[in-house]
C-alpha cells in the first residue's frame, strides 16, 4: 500500500515516522493510501521549516513582479488539471463531482486575486508631515508561515493563504488534513513544476504531532487554520503564546430566516442546497431555518426538496449529496439527531440508517429535518456538521434577529425576503461576519475576506483578499529628513 511522502525542499521524501493512518474513500470504504502520523512527524516539520527559512531569505528580496510570476503558471496548471483534482477530492472526501470542481474554481480565483499583489502591497506616503520631513509606511514579509487545512475543503482553503503568502515574500509549510491528503499531494505535484526556490513551499503530513510542532516552532511567524471551534481556540491560544500571528476559523450554526414575502420555490431550493451541500460538512452550511409568521408553505416546500435529494457516490451522474467523511462522523450525527428527539424535537424527515445500493458500507446519511426543538436545548447550540436541518418558527423578524444574536457562533446569517427594508434591518443588526440576502451560502468571493465573528473566528485579519495581504506582511513606518546642509553635492 502506498505510504504518502512529504514534499520538502523541492523533493518527495519519506516521513521519519513509522506510524500511519488509512486514507479511506467514505463512499466505498476503499483504503486509498496510508498517511504518516504520530509524534515523530514533528521532526518532519523541523526539516521543512529549516528549508523554508533558507528559501525565504532569498525570496523576500525579489521584486514583487517576479514573485507573482509563478502564480500565473499555477493558475494555468490548476485549470488544466481541474478534472483530475476534482475526482481526487470526491474520492477522498465524498463530495459530488460538481462540488469538487467548484472548490478548484474557488482556489483558482484566490490565485488570481493574489496576483494583484503589486497593487495590493502599495502603502502610504505623506510628504511634509512636518517641515522638511516625509513619512511613509512599507509592508515587508513575515518569514516562514504555516497553513493547517481541514478535511472538508482539501484544496480551496489552503488557497485562502498560500498564494498571498508567497506573493508577499514569505515561504510556507502546508499541513493537509490526514483524512484527505491526496488532493494536496496532487497540487504539490503541480507546484513542483513552478520556477520557485526549493523550500519555498513545503508539505508535511501528520496529525496532532505535526500540528503542535508547527504551533511551537520559533521560526514559524504565522499560522492559518480552519476547523472546529474547540481546535481553533486551541490553535490560536498555543500559537499566539509562542509569539505567532494567528488566524483561526472555527465552527458555526448559520441560521437562515425566511419571511412570508419570500419566493417559496426559489427559497426552498436554495436553502436545501445550503443545508445539504457537501453533506452539510462546511462552515457555511445552513443548519437552522427560521420561518417567520408560521409559514406553512415554506415548511412543506423544504420537506419536499429535502426528500427529493439524490444521495450516493459523488462520481456517479445525478448524485446531489455524498457521504459524510468517516464512520465516526456518521455515528456522531445520528446520535445528535437522537439527542434532538430526547430534547422534545420532532423528526419530520429521518435520514438515519441510510443504505445506498452498491455502497452499503458507505458513511451515508440522508437529508434530515428536525422541528420544535427547544430554543435553549443543546442541539441548537451544537455544530452538527452533517445533513441536518433544524426547523424553527418565530413570530417576527425581530425575534429571529434576537435569537441569532444570542448564539455563541457568528459565521453566517441569511435572510430570504422581497422587502428591501427588512433586508437592510437584517444586514445591519445580525451579528455574523458573513450575511446573505436571498443567498443560501454567503461565501465571500476571493476579492473579499472570509469573515467570522464570536466563537467562529479567533484572530483579527481573515483569509483571502486584502486581509490576506495584510496578514502576511508587517508594517514599517519610516520618518525621513534630508537637511540641505547634509546633502552631498556632486
Residue 373 near residue 394, CB atoms below 8 Å: no
Closest of 392, 337, 338 to residue 368, by C-alpha: 337
d(CA 323, CA 304): 20
Q: What are phi and psi of 81, to 5 degrees?
A: -110, 20
Q: At what angle do helices 229-241 and 208-216 cross, to 10 degrees?
A: 40
Residue 442 near residue 108, CB atoms below 8 Å: no
Q: What are phi and psi of 78, to 5 degrees?
A: -65, -40
CA distances from 227 to 325, 464, 485 (A): 14, 16, 59
The residue behind cell 426547523 is 391
Closest of 429, 364, 372 to residue 398, by C-alpha: 429
The residue behind cell 523576500 is 60
DSSP 87-101: HHHHHHH---HHHHH
DSSP 367-381: -EEEE---TTSSGGG
- Sheet of 171-175: strands edge to edge? 11-13, 6-8, 201-203, 171-175, 144-148, 220-226, 245-249, 457-459
Choosing from 147, 168, 278, 283, the catalytic residue is 283
Q: Active-site residue 283, yes or no?
A: yes
Helices marked H in 206-353 — which ranges?
208-216, 229-241, 264-276, 296-307, 327-342
DSSP 138-185: EEEE-SEEEEE--SS-TTTGGGGTHHHHHHTT-EEEEE--TTS-HHHH
Where b means 16+ CB within 10 Å and e means fewer, 349-374 reads bbbeebebeebeebbbbbbbbbbebe
Residue 180 near residue 227, CB atoms below 8 Å: no
Q: In the structure grid, which three cell numbers stand for residue 379, read together?
A: 442541539
Q: What are phi and psi of 92, to 5 degrees?
A: -95, -20
> Which residues are identified as catalytic?
283
Amino acid at each position: 500500500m502506498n505510504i504518502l511522502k512529504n514534499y520538502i525542499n523541492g523533493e518527495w521524501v519519506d516521513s521519519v515516522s513509522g506510524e500511519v493512518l488509512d486514507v479511506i474513500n467514505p463512499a466505498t470504504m476503499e483504503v486509498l493510501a496510508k498517511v504518516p502520523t504520530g509524534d515523530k512527524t514533528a521532526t518532519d516539520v523541523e526539516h521543512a521549516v529549516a528549508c523554508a527559512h533558507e528559501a525565504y531569505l532569498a525570496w523576500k528580496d525579489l521584486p514583487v513582479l517576479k514573485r507573482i510570476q509563478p502564480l500565473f503558471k499555477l493558475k494555468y496548471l490548476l485549470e488544466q488539471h481541474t478534472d483530475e483534482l476534482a475526482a481526487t477530492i470526491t474520492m477522498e472526501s465524498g463530495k459530488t463531482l460538481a462540488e469538487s470542481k467548484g472548490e478548484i474554481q474557488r482556489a483558482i480565483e484566490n490565485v488570481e486575486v493574489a496576483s494583484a499583489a503589486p497593487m495590493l502591497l502599495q502603502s502610504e506616503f505623506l510628504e511634509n508631515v512636518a517641515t522638511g520631513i516625509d513619512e511613509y509606511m512599507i509592508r515587508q514579509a513575515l518569514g516562514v508561515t504555516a497553513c493547517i487545512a481541514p478535511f472538508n475543503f482539501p484544496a480551496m482553503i489552503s488557497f485562502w493563504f498560500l498564494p498571498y503568502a508567497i506573493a508577499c515574500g514569505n515561504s510556507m509549510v502546508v499541513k493537509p488534513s490526514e483524512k484527505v491528503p491526496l488532493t494536496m499531494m496532487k497540487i504539490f505535484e503541480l507546484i513542483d513544476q513552478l520556477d520557485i526556490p526549493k523550500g519555498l513551499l513545503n508539505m508535511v503530513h501528520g496529525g496532532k504531532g505535526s500540528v503542535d510542532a508547527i504551533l511551537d516552532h520559533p521560526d514559524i511567524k504565522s499560522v492559518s487554520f480552519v476547523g472546529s471551534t474547540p481546535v481553533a481556540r486551541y490553535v490560536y491560544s498555543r500559537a499566539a503564546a509562542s509569539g505567532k500571528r494567528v488566524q483561526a476559523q472555527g465552527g458555526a450554526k448559520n441560521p437562515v430566516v425566511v419571511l412570508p414575502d419570500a419566493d417559496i420555490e426559489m427559497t426552498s431550493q436554495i436553502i436545501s442546497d445550503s443545508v445539504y451541500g457537501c453533506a452539510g460538512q462546511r462552515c457555511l452550511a445552513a443548519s437552522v431555518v427560521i420561518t417567520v409568521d408560521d409559514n406553512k408553505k415554506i415548511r412543506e416546500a423544504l420537506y419536499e426538496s429535502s426528500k427529493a435529494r439524490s444521495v450516493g457516490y459523488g462520481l456517479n451522474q445525478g448524485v446531489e449529496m455524498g457521504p459524510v467523511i468517516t464512520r465516526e462522523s456518521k455515528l456522531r450525527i445520528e446520535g445528535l439527531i437522537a439527542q434532538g428527539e430526547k430534547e422534545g424535537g420532532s423528526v419530520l424527515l429521518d435520514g438515519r440508517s441510510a443504505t445506498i445500493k452498491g455502497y452499503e458500507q458507505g458513511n451515508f446519511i440522508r437529508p434530515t429535518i428536525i422541528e420544535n426543538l427547544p430554543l435553549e436545548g443543546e442541539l441548537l447550540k451544537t455544530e452538527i456538521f452533517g445533513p441536518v436541518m433544524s426547523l424553527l418558527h418565530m413570530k417576527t423578524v425581530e425575534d429571529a434577529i434576537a435569537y441569532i444574536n444570542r448564539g455563541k457562533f457568528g459565521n453566517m446569517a441569511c435572510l430570504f425576503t422581497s422587502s428591501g427594508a427588512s433586508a437592510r434591518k437584517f444586514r445591519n443588526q445580525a451579528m455574523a461576519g458573513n450575511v446573505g440576502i436571498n443567498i443560501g451560502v454567503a461565501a465571500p468571493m476571493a476579492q473579499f475576506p472570509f469573515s467570522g465573528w464570536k466563537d467562529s473566528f479567533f484572530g483579527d485579519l481573515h483569509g483571502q483578499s486584502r486581509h490576506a495581504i495584510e496578514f502576511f506582511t508587517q508594517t514599517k513606518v519610516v520618518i525621513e529628513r534630508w537637511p540641505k546642509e547634509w546633502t552631498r553635492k556632486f
